[in-house]
């Protein structure tokens, strides 16, 4: 997500980027993004620092690790955190940045790389008003839907946690439904079209469904890795337990993604979770052999 966001922002702002992988920096430079040789070099004189990382450990490292950038930020700067990392460490990051006069804007996003490049992301934001005003032009450049859900960092993570509960469950449910249709001998594509037209439709069914069917025959492009939902549904589980709330459906979905990761599908597109439920699809030859045996 980092490179398409940087490319989108470069159309309106002066951008300096950094990635720890030299190949990623080279790719960025080929698309016209100026890159620094270090993270601290990238944030020199920056008013807004956008982080696009994987998890809370990476946020901690890039801000406060051995080569962390927090110490290089000037008072008045804003850290714009776009990743889904959970609530646990947000208060600590906010407090440490505040001591330096730096604000944290909690703005997890979703939509995928293509939509990031088009400025068509969904972004939910938790931030104090002054910091939000500073970051708003950047957020509006990236988002087609920008929803401010609270006035403190952490509110964005809370909202994204709820969002990811539904997304993970919907992907798992779509996989189960299409696998069942296949086991019952139904035409897969006709089934998907019929489901999309009725009350059972969902964004994830329409978006992941075709990739679930294609993925049995060919490798599909990885638009969202399966192991991202291992992380995100883990965040959902931690948050629900901390709130004293049972979330059994989310827990069941998490187990499917965990099984996929164990089976070597972690770096595959998350639509590959259907292979956990039905490791192989019904073939044309099997269609003519009578009733199907569930597998």
Provide, rounded to the nearest whole percent, the portion of the chain with pLDDT above 70.
95
Query: Which of 55, 107, 96, 106 lies closest to 73, judged by CA?
Result: 96
**In three state form, how does the secondary structure of 23-59 look?**
HHHHHHHHCCCEECCCHHHHHCCCCEEEECCCCHHHH
Query: In 3-state terms, what secondary structure has residue 150?
Result: strand
Q: Which residues contact 163 (CB under 8 A, 6 or more apart)?
A: 110, 124
Beta bridge pairs of residue 148: 125
Give per-residue pLDDT as tens, 123-168.
999 999 999 999 999 999 999 999 999 999 999 999 999 999 999 9
Give per-residue pLDDT as tens, 5-42.
999 999 899 999 999 999 999 999 999 999 999 999 99
Tokens coding 295: 């597998």
Q: What is the C-alpha end-to-end distance of the chain, expressed in Å?
A: 37
Rounded CA gap, 42 and 40, in Å? 5
Mean pLDDT score across all residues of the chain: 93
Q: Which fold has domain 2-152?
A: Rossmann fold (3.40.50)
Integer-rounded Cα radius of gyration of the chain:
21
The CA angle 258-262-263, to the nearest 5 degrees, is 115
Q: Where are the domains of the chain?
A: 2-152, 158-281
Query: In 3-state terms, what secondary structure has residue 143?
Result: strand
Rounded CA gap, 239 and 85, in Å? 11
Active-site position among 27, 152, 160, 231: 160
160 catalytic? Reply is yes
Tokens coding 156: 């964005």
Give per-residue pLDDT as tens, 201-221.
999 999 999 999 998 767 788
pLDDT of residue 216: 74
pTM of this structure: 0.89
φ/ψ (deg, to 5) at 71: -65, -20
Q: Which fold has domain 158-281?
A: 1.10.1040
């Amino acid at each position: 997500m980092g490179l398409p966001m940087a490319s989108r922002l470069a159309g309106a702002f002066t951008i300096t980027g950094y990635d720890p992988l030299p190949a990623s920096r080279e790719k960025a430079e080929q698309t016209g993004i100026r890159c620094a040789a270090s993270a601290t070099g990238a944030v020199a004189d920056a008013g807004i620092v956008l982080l696009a990382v994987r998890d809370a450990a990476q946020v901690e490292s890039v801000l406060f690790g051995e080569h962390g950038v927090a110490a290089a930020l000037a008072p008045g700067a804003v850290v714009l955190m776009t990743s889904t990392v959970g609530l646990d460490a947000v208060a600590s990051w906010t407090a440490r940045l505040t001591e330096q006069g730096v604000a944290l804007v909690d703005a997890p996003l979703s939509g995928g790389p293509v939509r990031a490049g088009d400025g068509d992301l969904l972004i939910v934001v938790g931030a104090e008003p002054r910091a939000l005003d500073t970051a708003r032009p950047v957020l509006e450049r990236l988002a087609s839907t920008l929803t401010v859900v609270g006035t403190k960092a952490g509110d964005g993570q809370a909202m994204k946690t709820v969002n990811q509960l539904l997304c993970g469950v919907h992907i798992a449910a779509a996989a189960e439904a299409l696998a069942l249709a296949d086991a019952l001998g139904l035409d897969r594509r006709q089934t998907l079209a019929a489901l999309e037209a009725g009350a059972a439709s969902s964004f994830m069914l329409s978006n992941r469904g075709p990739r679930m069917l294609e993925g049995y025959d060919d490798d599909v492009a990885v638009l969202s890795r399966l192991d991202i939902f291992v992380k995100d549904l883990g965040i959902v589980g931690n948050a629900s337990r901390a709130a004293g709330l049972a979330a059994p459906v989310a827990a069941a979905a998490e187990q499917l993604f965990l099984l996929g990761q164990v089976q070597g599908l972690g770096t595959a597109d998350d639509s590959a979770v259907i292979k956990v439920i039905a490791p192989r699809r019904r073939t044309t030859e099997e269609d003519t052999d009578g009733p199907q045996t569930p597998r």
